[in-house]
Amino acid sequence: MSQEKQIRHYLESGGRISGISALDKFGCYRLSSVIFNLRDKGLDIKTKMIKNGQKSYAEYYLENPIGNKNQLSIIWDIIGKPYLV
C-alpha cells in the first residue's frame, strides 16, 4: 500500500499526523506533498499549527473523520474520490 493511501486511511480513522509522526509511522519524508495530493483529490484536511517553545510544526487532521476506513477505501479505490453515504 502506498504512503498516500496509508496516510489517507490514518486520517479517515480519526488520526492526527505531523511530519515526525508520518516519518515514524509510514516512512514518509514529504508529508506536505502527500497532504497536497489528498486535498487535490477532495479530502478536507485541516491544519493546526503547534508551538513547542520557539519551534512550530503543522499537524494535519480531518474535522469529520469517516470511521469505517475499510469501507471508504474500497469505494475510493473504485471511483477515485471520496464518497460520503
Each residue's pLDDT expressed in tens, for the chain with a length of 85 residues = 889 999 999 999 899 999 999 999 999 999 999 999 999 998 999 999 999 899 999 999 998 887 655 545 555 555 555 544 4
Question: Would you say residue 35 lies in a domain?
Answer: yes
Q: Which amino acid type is present at position 19?
A: G
Question: Would you say residue 81 lies in a domain?
Answer: no
Query: Domain range for residue 33?
Result: 3-73
Task: Say whether pTM exceeds 0.85.
Answer: no
Question: Would you say residue 50 lies in a domain?
Answer: yes
How many domains is the chain partitioned into structurally? Answer: 1
Amino acid 67: pLDDT: 63
CA angle 10, 24, 7 (to 5 degrees): 20
d(CA 51, CA 56): 4
Type and span of the H or E element at 23: helix 19-26
Amino acid 76: pLDDT: 55
